[in-house]
Structure 1
C-alpha cells in the first residue's frame, strides 16, 4: 500500500476508530488505482524483461528505481558487471543500463534483463498523493452525484474528478509513459 491508516487519519484529523474499516478499504483501492493510473508498481520486486536489442550500448529499464541487477544476456551470452569504467561489462543506474565493450545487438527479444526495482520506502510526495485521493473519496461519500449545493443563498461547488490537481501533478512525475 502507498500509505498507512494512521497517516490518512492524521490528514483527515480523525481520532476515533469509527471509520477505520472504510479508510483501510479506501487505502487499498486508492493504492491500486494510482499504480494502474501510473502503469507501474512501486514496491520492491524482481523483474525479468525480454527486450529487443537496439544496436546501442544503453537501454532503459521498464521499472525504476533499479536497486540491483541479477543478470543481463544478449543473444544468450551473459554480460558481466563492469568492475570499473575501463573494464568491459555493464553498469546500471536508477533508470538505465549501459554496456562497456558490448552492445545490445539488434534483434527481437534477444536481450534478457533480470533486476530488482522499486521503492523500499514510498516517496513522501507519492504517499501524500495517495492520502489526498483517499481523503477525496472519503469526503465525497456524503455528496455522491452532487456537483453543487445551495444553502442560505450561497452555492457551494464540489470538485468532481478522479484525482485532485495536486495529486495528478505528483503522479504525472511517476507515470510510466514509454512502453517496453
Structure 2
C-alpha cells in the first residue's frame, strides 16, 4: 500500500540555515521511500536549499538528496530507498531569501490498517479474560468486526486503507474539492473536464489537506478555481490511516469489552448465541451508556465537519 506523510515544517527565514537531523516518522517494519517533495513560500535568491532524507538518526546510513534551486519554489523527485526503523530529515540552506519550508514523502509499506480497530488480544487483556475458548473467541472476533463497522458507519467514512477508482466530484468554482474518503495517501490520477492534471503543477494536496481529503487547484504558486461542472472532476486515490488512531483503538476495545459482559449477563452460551452483532440500545447491558459517554466523543474529531 502506498501512503503519504509530511516532513517537519521549518518556518521563517532559511538563510544560512544548517539544521540538525530531525526524526520524521517511526516505523514498525521496513518500508520503501518512493517520492519526496519539498516547497518554500519564497524562492532562494542567490543560493540554494539542499534537503536530505536519511534512514538513520546519525546520518551515516543511506540517504536521498534534492535541491531547491536559486529562484525555484519547489522540488520533487522519484527515489527508491528502503528504510528501517524510521525516517529523518536534514536541511542545509545557502545565503538567500528562501522562507517557510514544508514537504511530503510517499512510501510503499506492508503496514497499515486493513481490517479492525482493535484485536482479540487487546480485548482479552482489557477484560481480564484468560485462556482460549474457540467459541468465545469466535464471538469476540465477530464483535470486534461489528464494532469497527458500526464506528465507521457513525463517522460516515472509512479508517481502514483502501483505493477509490474514478470517483466523480462536482467542480463548484472554488479552489478546493474534497474526496469522499480521507485521509489521502496517494492521488494516482486526476482529470478536470477530461483533461489530465499533474500533481504539484496543476493541483496539490499537502499537510492538513491530506488529512481532510482536500485537493487544491493551482497554477504556479497560486490557488485558482476548479471549473464548474457536474461530476467533471475524476480521481483515483489511496486513502486511510497507516496505524489506527489511539483514541479509536481505546474506544473500540472498551465497547467490545462492554458487549462481552453484556453477553455474559444475558445467560446465553457462546455456542448457542444467535446474534453476534453489537447494539448500543440492547435491553441487557453491562454498560449501556458507553456508546454515548466514550465512543461518540472519541469518534467526533474523525468525522468530517458538517457530517
For Structure 1 versus Structure 2, the TM-score category normalised by the shorter chain is 0.7 to 0.9
Separation in 2 of the partners of 1:36 and 1:128? Answer: 18
| Structure 2 counterpart of 1:53, from 160, 164, 171 | 171
> Are positions 1:77 and 2:191 aligned together?
no
1:31-50 equivalence runs, <5 A: 31-47=148-164, 48-50=166-168
Contact 1:54 1:105 in 2 (8 A): yes
CA displacement at 1:50 relative to structure 2: 0.4
> Residue in 1 aligned with 2:112?
none
- Structure with the higher strand share, 1 or 2: 2
CA displacement at 1:21 relative to structure 2: 1.7
Contact 2:248 2:299 in 1 (8 A): yes
In the superposition, the TM-score normalised over structure 2's length comes to 0.50
> Are positions 1:2 and 2:117 aligned together?
yes
In the superposition, the TM-score normalised over structure 1's length comes to 0.82
> Residue in 1 aligned with 2:48?
none
> Residue in 2 aligned with 1:152?
none
RMSD of aligned Cα (Å) = 2.0
Contact 2:171 2:229 in 1 (8 A): yes
SS of residue paired to 2:143: helix
> Are positions 1:106 and 2:106 aligned together?
no
Distance 1:4 1:122, change over 3 A: same
Separation in 1 of the partners of 2:306 and 2:228? Answer: 19
After superposition, the C-alpha distances for 1:17-73 in whole angstroms (9 at most, x for unaligned) are 133122111111111111112111111111132011111221122211111111111
SS of residue paired to 1:174: coil
Separation in 1 of the partners of 2:195 and 2:151? Answer: 38
1:26-175 equivalence runs, <5 A: 26-47=143-164, 48-82=166-200, 88-92=201-205, 93-94=209-210, 95=212, 96-101=214-219, 103-141=225-263, 142-143=265-266, 145-146=283-284, 159-161=287-289, 163-175=291-303
CA displacement at 1:161 relative to structure 2: 4.5
Separation in 2 of the partners of 1:146 and 1:45? Answer: 36
User: For the pair shown, which has the larger CA radius of gyration, 1 or 2?
Assistant: 2
- Structure ranking higher on relative contact order (CA contacts 8 Å, 6+ apart): 1
Gaps of 5+ in 1: 83-87, 148-157
Gaps of 5+ in 2: 1-115, 267-281
The count of aligned residue pairs is 164
Moved over 4 A (4+): none
Using the TM superposition, name which of 27-36 and 159-168 deviates more. Answer: 159-168
